[in-house]
Structure 1
Amino acid sequence: MLKLENKVAIITGGGSGIGRAIAELFAAEGAFVHILDLNVSGAQAVVDGIQNTGGNAKVHACNVANQEEVISIVGAIGRVDVLVNNAGIAHVGNLENCQEADFEKVFAVNVKGAYNTLFAVVPGMKANGGGAILNLASIAAVVGISDRFAYSMSKGAIYAMSMSVARDYMAHNIRSNSISPARVHTPFVDGFIAKNYPGKEEEMFAKLSSSQPIGRMAKPEEIAKLALFLCSEDAAFITGNDYPIDGGFIKLNN
């Protein structure tokens, strides 16, 4: 039996990277996947791939920072069984290098975006008898990462919101968890290295990879497998937890 058969799932930022891997796996496991993404062309490519392999998926052009847009889209979708808050942006810089505009942009997408989808989805989950929520936090929520002030702030908020929703809606059969990856090899990472370290791509990739004690970055598909477990009935007794998936970074990186 498919783990998400007949389930309706919303995945924000499902057009690339971790979100793409989650969308593809959830669809393969029987879910009707709704991707909310600003990158419509990228998300459509994911949907096309899902449909070509017999799965069900749809793209919704959406700025998750705009609550009106999110509420409208969720209302049109109807029943939602699974919500994955994956959409997010990064910012490189410490406190002094984080301008107000930088801070507000990261907050709007990473924090307010997750709040908006939670605000739109949870009432329907209550009415429908429950659901599963997964929020993408980060190791940056619990350990200090150099030059990631705004990003760390946003992921700490994601962690806290996950725990709060788990507590408040447990009686409504709504489970809420978060996962905290270390570095994951996505197109974003390749683009970041190319932009900031031209001519030193291989050197920087090796350096970033070795910062995980396991000696490499995670693959998006590895994050997706944990997401599937936590959003399926296999995890029916699990709520209010954060799961590091970090190659030993938090506990072993001394």
Structure 2
Amino acid sequence: MAEEEGQRLPYVSEIVLKKRKIRDELAITRRTQLELGKYGAKKGKKSNISDIKRPEQFIKEFRDKELDLIRMKQRAKRPKSMVPEPKSKLLFIIRIQGSSDMHPKTRKILYSLRLRRVFSGVFVKASEGVIEKLQKVEPYVTYGYPNLKNVKELIYKKGYARIDKKAVPLTDNNVIEQALGKYGIICIEDMVHEIANVGPHFKEVNHFMGPLMLSKPEEGVIKGKKQPYKEGGDAGDREEAINDLISKMN
């Protein structure tokens, strides 16, 4: 009995155990991916070997996301003197970048702006809170001041309502009146007027209408550069120049 008590198991720290677990899980994942890449092509669907991720790719993605978070915090610390005052009450925001290197906190802000997909667009009422959010997610969006012509064409061409979790085109004024009649809004023309002028029921009309899915622009219109628009990139404040982009994507 004394001999058994003397033969204690070697102590292994919790950190080492966690590293071993992660290493083993990666090894299993890697082995599965290799097997699919090697034998999957024999089945009905061909396996795309380029889709197989190496461990170093996972590490790179993790580092990119952490870098995205650091840059987001740096942008949020810009002095207010560097942030221009809005020239209009109405802003139109377009998401122009994907999410491969996006930190979850950045994605959360985009989702709070209802920008879940690339090339989706939303009308927002310009405020200090909105400008702060746009600063944080600047590389992924571009925005500016839409004119009346583009507001009208966007709502007529891309507008739809969310009813019972289904997208319903804004072709029947009865649908609009049933949802917004209590605010004095009974047709699509009233919706355009409320959005364009940021009326007292802007919030209700805007949420009745889902995010607008714009058409993918022609090659070269969006170059994929995350630098600010004023520095030759795609992102950030375009002011009135947003109308040219809207025309090409509507």
Provide the TM-score with structure 1 as the length reference. 0.27
Rg larger in 1 or in 2? 2
What TM-score comes out, normalization by structure 2 length? 0.27
